[in-house]
Structure 1
Amino acid sequence: MRLYVIENVTPQERLPRLSICTQGKMSGAKGDIRVKRLPVTKLGLLTLFSASVVFAQGDNGPDSATMKETEAGIPVADPLVKEKCGSCHSADDKGNLSRISWVRTTPEGWAQAIKRMVRLNGLDITPEESRSIVKSLASSHGLAPEEARPVMYLPEKRIIDEALPNETMRGACASCHAYAQPLSWRRSKLEWKTLQDLHVALYSQADAQYRRPAEDAEQPAGRDPKDKLTRGDYALTYLPKVAGLHTPEWAAWSARQRNPRLAGEWLVVASVPGKGKFVGELNVAPGKAADEFTTSATLRSLADGGTINRTGTGILYAGYSWRGSSKGGAAPAKPDDLVSAARETMWFAPDQQSAQGRWFWGEYQEFGYDVKLVRATAAPTILAVTPGPVKAGTKGVQLRILGNNLPAAPTAADIDLGAGVTVTKIVSASPKELVVTADIAPAAPSGQRDVALAGAVLEQAFPVYRNIDYIKATPETALARLGGIKFAKGYQQFEAIGYDNGLDGKPNTGDDVALGPIEADWAMQEFMTVSYDDDMKYVGALSPTAFFTPGEEGPNPARRFARNNYGEVWAVATAKSAKDKFGKPLSARAYLVVTVPMYQRFDQPEVSR
């Protein structure tokens, strides 16, 4: 058998309808196209012959192999990178390595690229060499802090509703993975084209996505309606503009990047859904290399006063991007145990004085501490204020101001709690905690209050509210995964969050004041999809503390059609004390999808080790 492959297809030679020929031409919708013959076996035909591979160049111009880079590359200086990558990626007289010198990405991006080279091209590399190369390229061909920060939710393993530029880019780049995936890279125009070709060659669905017309709003003015711009073509004009290789941010960071100086004491503020807030200290010590560290943390719960101790290690990539791991001293007793072994992802400010990120664990990284760090100094620092929201008109409310190096003998006049809040008494004072009583004026406006003391300021430290006008069950859209037999389960923790309508008196507007978690009763309700819906019986159980445990994976003989235990339900929160103007308890619900295990994963946990 022989396979006929298209040669030299131009952007105008679309291929919507094709028929196989046995001679030297192929008939298409726009005339004859030259082909060449390749002898293949029947097995080879089954492996190779798909429209997405054979016609990969049909829509977007000439083969990338025949195109030349017009942008300046970023030279590679590391001898190990040259040794391991140079056999395939040719060097030029400027120190560039083909392909590599025209891309920049995160530590996860480079780890992913090395894995692909091992799988597809037989790269021979040890774990130690791989780790060294990821470190090197994340610094010399990485992202600037300002470029990485908007997409940190991807390595932090957060599930969020992404902000997308338009529906065309959703279809081109966010149908199969997060939009943050391409935005975690910076590429030359040619490299964006080459990446698109790779997707077409490896993933048949990508070809279909790219060939669809761009949305009408993204069609160029005056273009022939019969020859619409495709999603793929639009992406190749859009991505070089927003994620090009050379940017002012990278130029500045390349000159500014310096060795990490993280050793010392850091102050920690953390929160965990369903567990509350924590404050504490993180001690960082130098590790085996200049960019490696060991850590020990002590966290104290603001809810019950309990203490958690954790130890770990970390690497600071590119002078700002922390990847680490830590664990508590005891074995975890349950999936959401706060001593569980966790991976750590944090973004350090360029001045290396503060950081923020997530320490996460779970089979699907569904549990985690949201953390903020600030370097401990001799100056006073305010970390948190409890108990949290206070109601206008309340007198004698007791507030705890937690921090570091707080004044030993402050007066009431030294403490500023914001508009309408007056300190009436100092109950106790220590370097770590200041307890005061305060009166809240009846006319105090709803909103967050800053706390100022001895030159230290904590912005949005606590909210003042007039009423709890409505609540939300969060996350409002949630995902859990079946498991327990061959696969681990993916859990979900919910919370009920109270809100004040704010100054405009209207719900769900920009001035609404979030008051934090409130006490609520929890239950599940059926999400009606079909007439015989019975999902609530099988998907799992929701505890009184809003912790959802999914059912087991696999066919269930007790269920109609022996379906798996997947399904859709509502998680419903009913406030225990907050009521509406009619005296009815406030309620809210979150949409929960319970689905099958994730059978294939794309992850780079090794960057945290």
Structure 2
Amino acid sequence: MIVSPSTVSGSWRFFPPLSRVTKVSKVGFCATLLLGSFSVLAGGAHAADKSVDPADWTEVDVGIPVTDKLTTQRCGSCHTPDAKGNLSRISWTRATPEGWAQTLKRMVKLNGLSITPDEARSVVKYLSTSHGLAPEEAEPVMYFAERRIQDETIIPNDVLHQTCASCHAFAQPMSSRRSHREWALLQNMHKALYATAQRTYETPAAGGAHDGGAKAETQAQVALAWLTKNAPLHTPEWAAWSPSIRAPNLAGKWFVSAAFDGHGRFVGEMDLAAKTAGSDEFTSTTSLKSLDDGKVVTRKGVGLVYAGYSWRGTSQGEGGDPARPDDIADKMRETMWFAPDQAKSVGRWYWGEYHEFGLDVTLIRETGAPMVGAVWPNALKSGAVGVQIHLYGAALPASVSVGDVDFGSGVTVKKVASISSGEIVATVDVGAAAVAGSRSVVVHGAMLPKALTVYSGIDYIKVSPDTALAHLGGIKYGKGYQQFAATGWSAGPDGKPGNADDFPIRSVPVSWSLAEFPTVTYDDDVHFVGKLDPASGLFTPNVEGPDTQRRFMRNNYGEVWVVATAKDDKDAAGRPLVGRSYLVTTVPAYKRWDQPEVSE
């Protein structure tokens, strides 16, 4: 969300919202103003669009009472309370911390809400918990809060793509739950603020039903029906979760496994301590060890947990190199989703001007029982002999025999070389006929699913991300970097690449280079967009323009191929495997959709 170390200590800071959310909608004019739970006019029903069936403006759902005194004081002057404790509009909406923070900022910006930073923080905290999402509702859209760029797979049809996902990620509306009336009012707000929404909504839906055989349903009507059915205010998930919301019991030690594109894997430990007994605010101390070079970074931070499962925090590493934008000792924002049983957590810790750098993080609670959290290397080639495998975890047994370690059929443990409570080193042989694919690893009864991949060969390379966005900067605006990584893939049992049976194997050592993407014959983008580190795959964009050395004094924007050429892996003809990614380098994000009224 929106938490910084200063947030937990009492001041309110909003992080800049997303400028690149998903590859479906990286840049949208209305990208971060649209989620809100209120119309431009606080009055609600009387502001309704009369072209919509009046029944849409009659609230029939049971509201969720607002029980927080401060929220009632600050919001109740515009949002009318009723005898049941409901506040108009608010009691018929549920949203993520990001959604409620965005709504509050818009109330300040457009409706003149007067609220202090501490009060704003408290109101968002209450609403995100008591009027939030259940864990099962939030999990599918966590990528939105985690500032990930990815293809959205949750858009159900073309109508929802046009009405909701053409300006912003579809995860934005799906980060809330609303009554039928509230979804209708949200559509009305869009039409009031954005002319493009008005045109889109009134377009007839292809294949839509007809009213009396004459008038086709509009896209707005189809979208409203879908959202009412699939994202209603009251759901079985919320009904099961809301009675059990309590202060999170997260204090203790957690095993950390993390991956950072271009920098490999990390393991370590995170120690969480509640600020006070029963608190939802925590301090953290984390150690991260690189499995590539053994370097250890210690980080200290703070975090706040919403609704009993949704972590938002920040941390800062010790030391570090300020000249390196990809340094993992940099200040990071942490977004984590804790499983309802509070035994595991997954999320992203990210940083950068455009949140472009990030660690994919998994936490596993240390309970005192043996636990395996990571295996390295995590891929073995069939026929390999005498390979040392490191198993990382917690409370590992002091005595382990070769029979206690199981990597699945075809992988034979020859000896256990060393043992400690956090690491076991085993030497293994891999049979030439070992079945390829992902498999679980078991140590003395403790199992880590899909921890190891056995493969016969690397058939092709994928570069991630396969489409990428970088931003010029360095003079007045910050640079938007892009980190690339190359992964070797198997074509699967059918031997045909690009099919569903393909599977990833491991990172591949490559040499990185740029190649022209031929859009305009004279533009020579490869010479102007920036530099790609041939060893690390880190792309550093050029400065913002105009550039006097370029034709027509254009800016340094452009399109190029990012090419990864394998150092060791070859195709059937003996040529190095090659993968590539499409990179767009664009101008800075001159406008950030964030209001300073409730920031520091």
**TM-score between both structures, scaled by the size of structure 1:** 0.87
User: Which of these residues, 197, 208, 226, is aligned with residue 238 of structure 1?
Assistant: 226
The answer to whether residue 295 in structure 2 is matched with residue 295 in structure 1 is no
Deviation per CA, 1:342-374: give whole Å up to 9, x if none.
111000111111111011100000011111101
Aligned to 1:6: none
User: Which of these residues, 166, 172, 189, is aligned with residue 181 of structure 1?
Assistant: 172
In structure 1, what is the Cα distance between the partners aligned to 2:329 and 2:152? 30
The answer to whether residue 194 in structure 2 is matched with residue 203 in structure 1 is yes
In structure 1, what is the Cα distance between the partners aligned to 2:437 and 2:598? 41
Deviation per CA, 1:364-396: give whole Å up to 9, x if none.
000111111011111111111112211111111
In structure 1, what is the Cα distance between the partners aligned to 2:321 and 2:304? 25
The answer to whether residue 98 in structure 2 is matched with residue 102 in structure 1 is no
User: Which of these residues, 153, 157, 162, is aligned with residue 143 of structure 2?
Assistant: 153
Q: Specify the SS of the correspondent of 2:98.
A: helix
Contact 1:167 1:215 in 2 (8 A): no
Q: Specify the SS of the correspondent of 1:180.
A: coil
Q: Specify the SS of the correspondent of 1:154.
A: helix
Contact 2:116 2:598 in 1 (8 A): no
How far is the alpha carbon of 1:174 from its aligned partner?
0.6
In structure 1, what is the Cα distance between the partners aligned to 2:172 and 2:478? 25
Q: Specify the SS of the correspondent of 1:244.
A: coil
User: Which of these residues, 281, 293, 296, is aligned with residue 307 of structure 1?
Assistant: 296
Aligned to 2:452: 462
Aligned to 1:267: 255
Alignment of 1:61-460 (within 5 A): 61-62=53-54, 67-163=57-153, 164-216=155-207, 219-220=208-209, 224=213, 227-287=215-275, 290-330=279-319, 332-333=321-322, 334-460=324-450
Deviation per CA, 1:249-302: give whole Å up to 9, x if none.
001111121211111111110111111111111011111571111010011111
In structure 2, what is the Cα distance between the partners aligned to 1:62 and 1:246? 22
In structure 2, what is the Cα distance between the partners aligned to 1:539 and 1:132? 44
Deviation per CA, 1:495-526: give whole Å up to 9, x if none.
11101122222212222221121001111111
Amino acid at match of 1:417: F
How far is the alpha carbon of 1:230 from its aligned partner?
1.9
How far is the alpha carbon of 1:407 from its aligned partner?
1.7
How far is the alpha carbon of 1:417 from its aligned partner?
0.5
Contact 2:117 2:598 in 1 (8 A): no
CA change 1:369–1:603 in 2 (3 A) is farther
CA RMSD of aligned residues (A): 2.1
In structure 2, what is the Cα distance between the partners aligned to 1:604 and 1:518? 43
- Could you tell me which runs of 5 or more consecutive residues in structure 1 were left unpaired when the two chains were aligned: 1-47, 49-54
CA change 1:450–1:95 in 2 (3 A) is same
Amino acid at match of 1:426: V
The answer to whether residue 574 in structure 2 is matched with residue 574 in structure 1 is no
Amino acid at match of 1:309: T
Q: Specify the SS of the correspondent of 2:439.
A: strand
In structure 1, what is the Cα distance between the partners aligned to 2:417 and 2:574? 37
How far is the alpha carbon of 1:125 from its aligned partner?
0.5
Contact 1:496 1:520 in 2 (8 A): yes
Aligned to 2:590: 599
Amino acid at match of 1:379: A
Q: Specify the SS of the correspondent of 2:492.
A: coil
Deviation per CA, 1:384-414: give whole Å up to 9, x if none.
1112211111111111111111122211111
Amino acid at match of 1:173: C
How far is the alpha carbon of 1:605 from its aligned partner?
11
In structure 1, what is the Cα distance between the partners aligned to 2:238 and 2:596? 26
Amino acid at match of 2:303: G
How far is the alpha carbon of 1:63 from its aligned partner?
10
Amino acid at match of 1:310: R
Q: Specify the SS of the correspondent of 1:594.
A: strand
User: Which of these residues, 542, 556, 565, is aligned with residue 565 of structure 1?
Assistant: 556
Q: Specify the SS of the correspondent of 1:152.
A: helix
CA change 1:605–1:417 in 2 (3 A) is farther
In structure 2, what is the Cα distance between the partners aligned to 1:537 and 1:83? 59
In structure 2, what is the Cα distance between the partners aligned to 1:389 and 1:490? 33
CA change 1:254–1:355 in 2 (3 A) is same
CA change 1:430–1:126 in 2 (3 A) is same
Amino acid at match of 2:415: K
In structure 1, what is the Cα distance between the partners aligned to 2:362 and 2:127? 27
**TM-score between both structures, scaled by the size of structure 2:** 0.89
Aligned to 1:17: none
Amino acid at match of 2:576: P
Aligned to 1:471: 461
Amino acid at match of 2:246: R
Contact 2:105 2:598 in 1 (8 A): no
CA change 1:274–1:548 in 2 (3 A) is same
Amino acid at match of 1:477: T
Contact 2:66 2:85 in 1 (8 A): yes
- Could you tell me which runs of 5 or more consecutive residues in structure 2 were left unpaired when the two chains were aligned: 1-39, 41-46
In structure 2, what is the Cα distance between the partners aligned to 1:355 and 1:245? 26
Contact 2:320 2:328 in 1 (8 A): no
How far is the alpha carbon of 1:532 from its aligned partner?
2.1
Contact 1:465 1:513 in 2 (8 A): no
Amino acid at match of 1:102: W
How far is the alpha carbon of 1:607 from its aligned partner?
12
In structure 2, what is the Cα distance between the partners aligned to 1:221 and 1:57? 21
Aligned to 2:36: none
Q: Specify the SS of the correspondent of 2:84.
A: coil
Higher-RCO chain (CA-CA 8 Å, sequence separation at least 6): 2
Contact 1:313 1:326 in 2 (8 A): yes
In structure 1, what is the Cα distance between the partners aligned to 2:559 and 2:550? 15
Aligned positions, number? 551
Q: Specify the SS of the correspondent of 2:52.
A: coil
Identity of aligned residues (%): 54
Aligned to 2:579: 588
Task: Find the structure with the greater CA-based Rg.
Answer: 1
Q: Specify the SS of the correspondent of 1:394.
A: coil
Aligned to 1:8: none
Aligned to 2:30: none
Contact 2:348 2:358 in 1 (8 A): yes
